[in-house]
Structure 1
Amino acid sequence: MQIQDVFSRYGAELKRVEEEMEFHLRSEVAIIPEIVTHLLGSGGKRFRPLLLLISADLFGYQGRRCHTLSAVLEFIHTASLFHDDVIDKAESRRGKVSANNIWGNAAVVLVGDFLYSKAYQLMAEDGSMEIMHLISTTSNVMSEGEVFQLIKCGEVNLTEEDYLKIIEKKTAILISAACALGGYLGGAEVHQIEALKQFGLRLGSAFQMTDDTLDYVAREEDFGKVIGKDLNEGKMTLPLIYTLKRCTPEERKFIETALAERRTREMPAGDILTLISRYDGITDALNQAETLIDEGRTFLAGLPEGPAKEALFAVSEFVLNRDL
């Protein structure tokens, strides 16, 4: 099964997720849906809802709760993007002017808060304490990841361990929750839900690793964000971490100076990319992502066979090969 087959299989359900989100974004304060739609309507493959739908299908569930809880995931994810863009002073998001550059930081932060509260309102209406506990824990971990990344921003001595902690808390944990939610909805056994969590955790970490690598090598029109954005913001990602461990003292000093002066001088991104390529930073980061995907797939071994399981394998393959 290819990723196109996956989207074809779940296309109708994803359309219902879109309708569910649109319904719950209605507000008498017109600027709220206007700001949210600016981001939600600018692309994105609804990766987290897709994983929820597949995981629920794995255990034979297809129903309204899938759509509502998928909206919960997208609202939490979108809120985190809004807050990210304010913190990073982002100028663009998914190829468009970022919301904070149009409506200002205050409005965007408050709309992010609206999305968080709407997500919790929908979970309360769903009524499952297991799901409420899973998502509230997930949101708390994501917030920890945001703070941890903030204090580590521009730190050239960031370890690979710290980097993995950041991406697990910021990105992988919500993807893990998406997989687990599908299991809950399908009535999966505890060990099966745990297997989905572990698969999602590794899939999510690999997703962020490939995203960070695309920041150096993708075409901007394919990637949907400014190439070199992470570098300009002083974010230490795996290709750069590997390079700093392997390069000469003179080359390391060059990179350190560029990062320290990034707010006052143009970042020599081309020269740094040359160093990253010389020391196999990109290749080894992608190899690490592949290792995580392989680990994640082992957790699928005891889960029900069929098209849904094939779809999970196809999604994991897509994560490794998207737009490279």
Structure 2
Amino acid sequence: MPGKLSDIKNPVSEELKFFEKEFKNSMKSSVPLLNRITHYLTRHKGKQIRPLLVLLSAEVSGGIVDKTYRAASLVELLHTASLVHDDVVDDALERRGFFSVFALWKKKAAVLIGDYLLAQGLLLAVQHKDYDILETVSDAVRQMSEGELLQIEKSRQLNITEEEYFEIIERKTASLLAAACKAGAISAVTDPENAAVKDMWQFGHHIGVAFQMKDDLFDYGNNKTGKPTGNDIREKKITLPLIHTLANTDKKARRRIIRILKKRKKSNEHVRLVIDLVLSGDGVSYTEQKMNEHLDMAREIVLRYPEAGARESLLQLINFIGKRQY
């Protein structure tokens, strides 16, 4: 069984509390509306996986210092900005079970608050001359944008290959987790060529790819409710379980799936049909196998480091990603 996230946070629990104060301070403004929106965002924060990764990566690489907190704040500011902008792009009225900024304050304010958070992150890094951290995180944001646009392009054409699928998730999901881990390591070492910097980037990359594959599996019922959601199918997002099914099913079934995916509005029966075709083959088990390969590679990297609370938390986090139900 995976450990609870609260247990995984234990070795850096005090540091996470300090980070939260620093993060709130980094979002303060003299404009009341901005403060209301940022207060709302901090009240409905997510699992804090990214700042947790920054802190744990720094701890195993040499130790948490002031620069580590700035790295965690920069990562979380840019991540939050991307989520706010994503909700505008997707017309999403909810985020983490609560109303999104887009739903409450509409499009113009949501775009501007995203821009503000992005600018605050850039200023935080520049003011402290954390150019190495800034370069790492900015490169991840570039890759995230490229990944999203590549997915849009491929979903229109319905011809995505397994290789392209991995390119998309490496960019849109793994890049920021890899950057968070690398930023943590950079903050803790004096030599940029230190092996920990490359190790932590690779660790973040592998868990990021696995994290996205686990998300993609939820569409086929591997989640807290045990019920398929079919959301990716409705939105024409072609993920690995479906890619593998299309590549290994007969021509008649492939044509049926493509015909359904092309429909602008898909009935529940049509979505269920695609889900059943995926479940009847080995698309889900194949995706789980690939996910576990990445988790194993992440585990190998962590085991190179001396036994300590932070190392144990990273190992628990690997199990958490593989077994999570939400």
Work out whether residues 11 and 309 of structure 2, in 8 Å CA contact, stay in contact via their aligned partners in 1.
no
5+ long unaligned stretches in structure 1? none
Aligned partner of 1:208 in structure 2 is: 212
In 2 relative to 1, CA 92–80 (structure 1 residues): closer, same or farther, beyond 3 Å? same
In 2 relative to 1, CA 100–254 (structure 1 residues): closer, same or farther, beyond 3 Å? farther
What secondary structure is seen at the aligned counterpart in 2 of 1:240?
Answer: helix
Aligned partner of 2:165 in structure 1 is: 163
Q: CA RMSD in A?
A: 2.5
- My pick for the range that moved more, 193-202 or 93-102, is 93-102
Aligned equivalents of 1:275, 1:258: Cα separation in 2: 12
AA aligned to 1:18 is E
What secondary structure is seen at the aligned counterpart in 2 of 1:268?
Answer: helix
1:75-90 alignment, distance < 5 Å: 75-90=77-92
Aligned partner of 2:283 in structure 1 is: 281
Aligned partner of 1:2 in structure 2 is: 3
Q: Tell me by how many angstroms 1:279 deviates.
A: 1.2
Aligned equivalents of 1:298, 1:165: Cα separation in 2: 23
- My pick for the range that moved more, 44-53 or 95-104, is 95-104
- My pick for the range that moved more, 171-180 or 29-38, is 29-38
What secondary structure is seen at the aligned counterpart in 2 of 1:157?
Answer: coil
Question: Alpha-carbon deviations, 1:2-42, whole Å to 9, x = none?
Answer: 34422222222222222222222222333334344444433
Work out whether residues 154 and 259 of structure 1, in 8 Å CA contact, stay in contact via their aligned partners in 2.
no
The alignment covers a number of residue pairs equal to 322
- My pick for the range that moved more, 75-84 or 262-271, is 262-271
AA aligned to 2:3 is Q
Work out whether residues 182 and 200 of structure 2, in 8 Å CA contact, stay in contact via their aligned partners in 1.
yes
Report the TM-score, using the length of structure 2 for normalisation. Answer: 0.89
In 2 relative to 1, CA 95–269 (structure 1 residues): closer, same or farther, beyond 3 Å? farther
Q: Tell me by how many angstroms 1:308 deviates.
A: 1.6
- Partner residue of 2:95 out of 89, 93, 96: 93
In 2 relative to 1, CA 112–269 (structure 1 residues): closer, same or farther, beyond 3 Å? same
AA aligned to 1:276 is V
Q: Tell me by how many angstroms 1:175 deviates.
A: 0.7
Aligned partner of 2:320 in structure 1 is: 318
Question: Alpha-carbon deviations, 1:207-232, whole Å to 9, x = none?
Answer: 11111112332557799xx9333222
- Partner residue of 2:63 out of 57, 61, 64: 61
Work out whether residues 230 and 272 of structure 2, in 8 Å CA contact, stay in contact via their aligned partners in 1.
no
In 2 relative to 1, CA 260–212 (structure 1 residues): closer, same or farther, beyond 3 Å? same
What secondary structure is seen at the aligned counterpart in 1 of 2:150?
Answer: helix
Aligned equivalents of 2:93, 2:231: Cα separation in 1: 10
1:11-30 alignment, distance < 5 Å: 11-30=13-32
Work out whether residues 151 and 168 of structure 2, in 8 Å CA contact, stay in contact via their aligned partners in 1.
yes
In 2 relative to 1, CA 227–106 (structure 1 residues): closer, same or farther, beyond 3 Å? farther
- Is 1:32 aligned to 2:34, yes or no? yes
AA aligned to 1:213 is L
Q: Tell me by how many angstroms 1:205 deviates.
A: 0.6
Aligned equivalents of 2:89, 2:182: Cα separation in 1: 30
In 2 relative to 1, CA 85–255 (structure 1 residues): closer, same or farther, beyond 3 Å? farther
Aligned partner of 1:117 in structure 2 is: 119
- Is 1:270 aligned to 2:272, yes or no? yes
Report the TM-score, using the length of structure 1 for normalisation. Answer: 0.90
AA aligned to 1:231 is I
1:231-270 alignment, distance < 5 Å: 231-263=233-265, 268-270=270-272
5+ long unaligned stretches in structure 2? none
Q: Tell me by how many angstroms 1:130 deviates.
A: 1.8
Work out whether residues 260 and 266 of structure 2, in 8 Å CA contact, stay in contact via their aligned partners in 1.
no
Aligned equivalents of 1:31, 1:304: Cα separation in 2: 47
Aligned equivalents of 1:276, 1:147: Cα separation in 2: 26
Question: Alpha-carbon deviations, 1:90-118, whole Å to 9, x = none?
Answer: 24322223332332223212211111111
What secondary structure is seen at the aligned counterpart in 2 of 1:150?
Answer: helix
- My pick for the range that moved more, 189-198 or 300-309, is 300-309
